[in-house]
Every structure is written in structure tokens, then in C-alpha cells.
Structure 1
Amino acid sequence: MNQFDVIVVGGGTSGLMASVTAAQEGSKVLLLEKNPTLGKKMLLTGGTRCNVTNIRSSDEIIKHIPGNGRFLYGAFSRYDNHDIIDFFESRGVKLKEEDHGRLFPTTDSAKTILNTFIEEIKKQKVEVRTNQSVAKLLIEDGAVVGVLTAEGEEIRAYSVILATGGKSYPATGSTGDGYRMAKQVKHTITPLFATEVPLTSDEDFIKNKILRALSLRDVALSVLNKKGKAVVTHQMDMIFTHFGISGPAVLRCSSFVHTIQEREGTKDVTMKLNVVPNESAKSLAHMWRNWLQTAPQKSVKTHLKTLVPERYAEFLLVKAGIDATMSLNQLNEPQTKKILDLLQNFTFTVNGTLAIEKGFVTGGGVQLKEIDPKTMASKQAAGLFFCGELLDIHGYTGGYNITAAFVTGHTAGVNAAEYASYFNY
């Protein structure tokens, strides 16, 4: 009978960190991965460059993890983004900082990060079995004592770490296996949903593809509640698509759209778009007056094109019921106010997101009230630990989700090894 100290189920981002950490703590570790190779999803992250973490403070990182980021404070107090940086740099990986504090390997290749883990796995003598699916946990007297593989083999261990990922990118193996195993010991799985995902809309201008493929730079996109109050605003780029909207600002708003839908029991959620967020209403009106003084005979479209792409200028003029060929001095005051308002307060509705399989990150997961935040240990069954996207934690892109994966993986690895050590005296 095979006997290990720690079994890690899942060879992705958090599982790799959990494996090497447990082995560094002196445990005999087995890593099981259902794919033929390790780190399949990791190789796709950061546009295949792997954004390993973010240089910002722990508080700032947690602020950028809107899905239960505060749960990570306990783990961050022992292992944080600076420790992640040290992990790679101490193993010869050079990192570089890009916009918004994102850190990448100087090679611009996720293979550099994966190979670092593979070398560490070899160094720490972690046993790796690929093409190995787990059918269920082995449970005795309320404690997890190993796993049963899909081939029917029982593998025993003093502790088991589930690092199977969520349900996004299912082609990489994230098909929800961990939720099934968590339910074996009565863990609650909060509703799963797509996050960091494009939004869909039934607005006529979307269905008629009027703005399809139009990109807008540095805009402010807000999600409004039923009272018309913005619950979140992100100032980034966006793009109109054949099904709705996408781009960085949209991805960051997506989980809040889901929250409003659930909280208010509605399908349609109102978005507000400000295409000139760096201008106040007062400065925009001042700009308009300058145009009237310097070039009153120019068409309103010509002036608007200095602020927004031509297609968007034409779209706003149609919305305002104004002929694009009209000169600026032909507009009356209500028409002027309408245009200025549309530039900063154009509202439209979205009705959902693309499927969870299309999302970058899975929202929802193992209920955090049932997990010890300092150890990642299950409160439902002794010997069971969790890490990564399987947990009900989700953040923005930009190195935040991977930071949560590494931190929870390290925490689970340390504590699973410590728990296993009690059986080796």
C-alpha cells in the first residue's frame, strides 16, 4: 500500500506551490495531475507570459481581490507577494515590473515559471504522477486519509491538499472535480459564476453591430444599482463586441454585474460610460465654449472627433437626435447639454456574462467559513486542506489571482506538512 505524508491533487499554480512547500517542510509528497503535463493553465496566464504577482502592498493587493480578499489577511501575514518574488529570484528567475505593478519574468515566457517549479519538485523529491485522476477522498472516522484514483488504486496519506482549480478554462483540466470531493465531507459550495469575463447585452446598438470592434481608451465604466448609484467604477480600456462589451474595464466590472443580479433579483443591469473621465463637467463645458469662440462653423462631429473615435461621435449624435453635419453654432442649449451629458453619462443595460468556461476566473467555490484562514485546513474533516481557485476567492487580473493561488498554496503546504508530521513520531 502506498503511504505518503501529503498528497496534492492538482498540478496547477497553487498545487505546484503547495507541493514544493510541503516537501521543503520535510514531508514525503505525492502530486497527482489529471493532465499529461503539469501547469497547463499556468502556461496560458498573463498572455502566456505569466504575471507572477504584483508589487503593490498587501493591503492594495487584497483591495484588488473583491471576492473575499480579506480572508487572505491571515495567510498574507506569513507569506505575501514579496515572499513570492523572493521564491523566484532566489532560484535565478529575473523579474521585471510593468504597468500597474505587474511582475513578469524577463524572458516573457510562462515556461520559465513552470520550469522553476519542475526543477524544485525534482530537488525536493516530490513524486509526480500525471494522467492521474482522483475519483474520491478516502475517509475514516471523519478524517481524510488518502484518495482513490479513477483506476481504483487507494493511495494513503496523513493529509490531502485539494488544488484542482475552478471551472474556467475547462480544457486545462479545471472541470470542477474539487467541488465534488469537497462535498464528500459536507463542504458547502457557494454558487459558481464567471468573473473577469465579457458582458452580454441585448441593446439594439449591440444587436445591430453599430459599434462592433470599436475600442475606447481610458474610459470610466460603472455598474449601477437599481437606485442609479455606482457600485464600482473602473477607468481602463474597453471594446464593443458582437455580443456585448469586453476589454479590461469590462472584465473588472463583470463580478459586480453578477452581484447586482443576485442581490436585486434582476437580469438587466445598468452600466454607465464616461468617455472623457479626466474632464469634469465644468471643464468639458469650458472646452465647448472655446470651440464656439475659435471654430463655430466647424461641424459638431469634427469637434467631437478630437475627443472620441469618429464612429462613437456619430453614434452619440444619433442618440442625441442631432445631424452630424450641423455646425457648432447651430446647436441650441438643450442639444449642447444632451451631447455633453452623453459624453460622460451614457447608460445602457447588460444582461449577463459569457459562460463560466469563457471566464478567466471562477467566482464562488468552497465556503470560506468552513476553512481556517491561517492554515487553509478544512473545518469539516481533519487532514484536508484547500488552496487556489477552488476556494470562494476571486480577484482582478493583474497578478492578483495568481498571488492568492501562491499564498494559499504555500499556506496549505506548510500546514499539511505540519499536520502529517504528528503521525511520524
Structure 2
Amino acid sequence: MAAISAARLGAQVTLLEKGNRLGRKLLISGGGRCNVTNARGIDHIIENIPGNGKFLHSVLHQWSNQDIIQFFRDLGVELKEEDRGRMFPVTNRASTVLDALLQELHTQGVRIVFEASVQAISYRSQTCDFEIFMQGGGTFTGDSVVIAVGGCSVPETGSTGDGYHFARTFSHTIVEPYPTSVALVMHDPVIQNKTLQGVSLRQAVLRLYDRKKRLLTTEEGDVLFTHFGLSGPAALRVSQYAVRSWMKDGKEPLLLTIDADPTNTAMELKEKIFALCEMMPKRVFRTVVKEVTAVSLSNFILESCNLPGDRLAAQVSKRDIEQFVRCLKEIELHVADTLGLSRATVTGGGIAIKEIDPRTMESRKQRGLFFAGEVMDVHAHTGGYNITVAFSTGYVAGKHAALHSALMREQC
């Protein structure tokens, strides 16, 4: 996006790609469908960028989510809105988005160099330009440089933290990288015994507490129980708060509660189960409660709360029903770890934003040096917000890199 933006303003652009093809991370985003952006307002988007979202206020007003939508429509990519404002290509294929970007790079005359692994970048004050040194020899020069190499999550796509090394060359501070949007690891018996493995919950509510039992965050969304803990959008949203708590207070398991049925109040659930017991008095209670939740989950609750699952429904007390509902609405687990940076969708930390001009994405340490995307200390929730950050910062960085290059050609 930075290359396209700069080229549209008339700059001669060379895109250096470490791998043998572009867009590897884009192709796996959104479950292979590419959640291009989110259709809701800018304030909503900033709220969903817990990692320094306010820093992006100017960027998003220069090139917003609506501009992203129009950009792709102009390239012939029709988008559709799904739940929670998520925007996907109507083809449901990330390759549709990538192909459009590749075609536009070609249309704008961007030179692409593959398997171009950058070793170092330096600024030459005598010629007012940058020199980029390649591994294996050779150099490139440019009036402006945009570093848009990502963080260090999903390293197989090429994001291996190279940008931090380049930024340090120009005296930039690097906030220690950490995983966000990553699955949670738990050692509770129900997880270790794989009792709930494969159980999924729709629109569950997760609440994470710190070691002093203070609420850190409340997140709503789908959840999947796995052999190691929890995955799914809601769990991924919780992860960064757990990691940041450990960074601050030390590593120890954090309490996580799950409301498995937030669409119904406790009173509504009690009334529903009581009515089912009256309708099916000769069935065992275990069979009755399967009508309101997943089989594995209901069995787990019955056993963990010592409830009479094999007793006839007619013989189950009101107190037993209340206890079942209480356990369903507040399943307790303990977050011991995450799957780590290499398995994270997004990297937290990165180049300190106080050293970047929020209006242009230009370095405050070195004129002509720009940053875009996850290499900066900016990260968002899942739901199209991270790609919005990437596209918007990329477009703005490319724009101002081109303007800087034009200025340098006049002055030097």
C-alpha cells in the first residue's frame, strides 16, 4: 500500500521483498478470506486499537476505513459487510485482494525485487539520500525509505523483527515485542483431560482478572476449547491483557471466567430449565440440560459442581438448577501462558511511537525515513482493525515519502 500510494504521486518506487512472493501474511488473514477493514466509524476503530490507537487519529482521518473500501472497489474488488462490521471480499478469497494489489503495483510501475534481504540502511548527508545494503552484496539508494516489514509474529511469512534492527541504526527506541491476538494456554484439569476439547461457544463473555482479582478486560465473542486451552476471537482479544499483566506484575496464572450463555440472564435460564424439567419429568437431569448447552459442557458443569446429573428431572431441586446456571454463567479457568510470539497473529511493542510523527509516519530521528504497520508499537484487536492500521499507515507513509522525495530533488 505504501508503494502504491507513493507511485500514485509520481515517485519512482522500488519495493524490496525478502521472500519470493508478496502477500504471504495477507493470504492467511481472516481465515484465508482477508478481513480487509471494518465498516464502523473511526472512533470505533480507534477503540479497537488498544495498542496506542489514539496515535493513529490523524492517519485515519487522512485515509480512513471508508477510503480503504473505496480503494478496493475502484480496483474492482467488491466487499461485503459481515457481523460486527467486518468487511470481506465477496469472493471470500484473500487472493482476490492480493491480486488487486499486485495489479495496481504493476499499473503504477512499481519495481519489485524478490529475495531481497536488507542487511543495513544508512543515510548519506553529502548526497541527501539513503543507501540500502543487501545481504550477499549490492546496494539500492533512495531519497526516502519506508520500513513496512511487520513485527515478529508468524515468522514463516517473513516477519522476523528485521525492522527493529534498521530503526536502531537511527537511534530509535524499541518497545520490547510481545504476543497479542494469540491463543491462551491453561493447565486446569478440564483442559489437561481434554474434557471440553472441540467445544465451541457462540458469543461467550470472557472476564480476565489480575493477580489481585481486579478486572483487566471483558471481551465478547466466539470461543473454542482446545487441547492446550482456549482459542477463538474472544480468547485472542483477551491475550494481550494477560501478557501485559505478566510484564508488569510477574508471571502467574490469571483467573478467567466465561459466561457461556450471555444471551440469557440467569433468571431466564433457570426458568427455561425448570420448564424443561416439568415437561420431561421422567428424563434424567443430564439429558434435560443438554437442551440448553453443549453436551460436553453440560457434563463438565454437572460433574465439577457435584450436581445430580443422573437423577430424574422431577426429583431435581430448585437449588440444583440454580447451581447449574451459576456454574454455566461463570466457568472458572486460569490462564497460565500463551502460545507465544511465533504463534501470535499480531506483535505488540515495536518502534516507540513518540519518535514517529503521527501526521506523516516520518521518523523524528531521521528525515526521509518512514514507518508503516506492525513494525511500530501499535496493535489492534482482530476484526479487520490490524489490516486497517496496515493499509492506512502504509498509504500515509507512502504519500509523505513521495512528497519528501520530491522536495529532496528540488533541494539537493
Q: 1:48 to 1:332 in 2, by over 3 A?
A: closer
Superposed CA deviations along residues 273-317 of structure 1, whole A, max 9, x for unmatched, are 111111222323333443455445542212211111111111111
Work out the CA distance in 2 between the residues paired with 1:106 and 1:322: 48
Matching of residue 312 in structure 1 with residue 293 in structure 2: no
CA distance in 2 between partners of 1:65 and 1:34 (Å)? 28
Per the alignment, residue 379 of structure 2 pairs with 394
5 Å-filtered alignment, 1:19-418, equals 19-140=3-124, 145-291=130-276, 293-332=278-317, 335-418=320-403
Structure 2 equivalent of residue 8 of structure 1: none
Aligned letter for 1:386? Answer: F
Decide whether aligned partners of structure 1 residues 264 and 303 sit closer, same or farther in structure 2, where only a CA change above 3 A counts.
farther
CA contact (8 A) 2:273 2:289 kept: no
C-alpha separation in 1, matches of 2:190 and 2:397? 49
The one-letter code of the counterpart of 1:204 is P
Please, which moves more after superposition, 291-300 or 252-261? 291-300
* SS in structure 1 at match of 2:303: helix
Paired AA for residue 93 in structure 1? V
Partner amino acid for 2:67?
D
* SS of 2:22 mapped into structure 1: coil
Corresponding letter in the other structure for 1:239: L
Q: Distance in 2 between matches of 1:144 and 1:339?
A: 69
Deviations 1:172-201 (A, max 9, x none): 111111111111112111121222111101
Assess if the C-alpha contact under 8 Å between 1:201 and 1:352 holds in 2: yes
Unaligned runs of 5+ in 1: 1-16
Runs of 4+ in structure 1 off by over 6 angstroms are: none
Quote how far apart the aligned CAs of 1:58 are: 1.0
TM value normalised by structure 2: 0.94
Deviation at 1:333, TM superposition (A): 5.7
Structure 2 residue runs without a partner (length 5+):
none
- Pair 1:417–1:317, CA change in 2 (3 A): same
Distance 1:165 1:184 in 2: 17
Superposed displacement of residue 344, structure 1: 0.7
**Post-superposition CA distance 1:84-128 (Å, at most 9, x none):** 111111122222222222222222222222222222222222111
Q: 1:94 to 1:229 in 2, by over 3 A?
A: same
Structure 1 pair 154/279, CA: closer, same or farther in 2 (3 Å)? same
Whole-angstrom distance in 2 between the partners of 1:310 and 1:46: 29
- Do the aligned residues in 2 keep the contact of 1:320 with 1:335 (CA within 8 Å)? no
How far apart are the structure 2 equivalents of 1:54 and 1:20? 21
* Secondary structure in structure 2 of the residue aligned to 1:77: helix
1:318 deviates by 0.9
Distance between the aligned counterparts of 2:45 and 2:31, measured in 1? 20
User: TM-score normalized by structure 1?
Assistant: 0.91
Q: Aligned residues, how many?
A: 409
Counterpart-to-counterpart distance in 2, 1:287 and 1:71: 48
C-alpha separation in 1, matches of 2:315 and 2:171 = 70
**What SS does the corresponding residue of 2:141 show, helix, strand or coil?**
strand
Q: Which string of whole-angstrom CA distances, capped at 9 and with x for unpartnered residues, describes residues 204-241 of structure 1?
A: 11111121222222321221233434332222221211
**SS at 1:56 equivalent:** coil
Give the Cα–Cα distance (whole angstroms) in 1 for the partners of residues 298 and 397 of structure 2: 53
In 2, the alpha carbon distance for the partners of 1:399 and 1:382 equals: 31
Structure 2 CA distance, aligned partners of 1:281 and 1:309? 17
1:188 & 1:251 partners in 2: Cα distance? 27
The 1-side partners of 2:129 and 2:322 are apart by 66
Residues 379-400 of structure 1: CA deviation (Å, up to 9, x unaligned): 1222211001111111122211
Map Cα deviations across residues 58-80 of structure 1 (whole Å, 9 max, x no partner).
Answer: 11112122222121101011110
Mean Cα deviation higher: 223-232 or 210-219 = 223-232
Taking the aligned partners of 1:333 and 1:43, their CA distance within structure 2 comes to: 52
Aligned with 1:41: secondary structure? Answer: helix
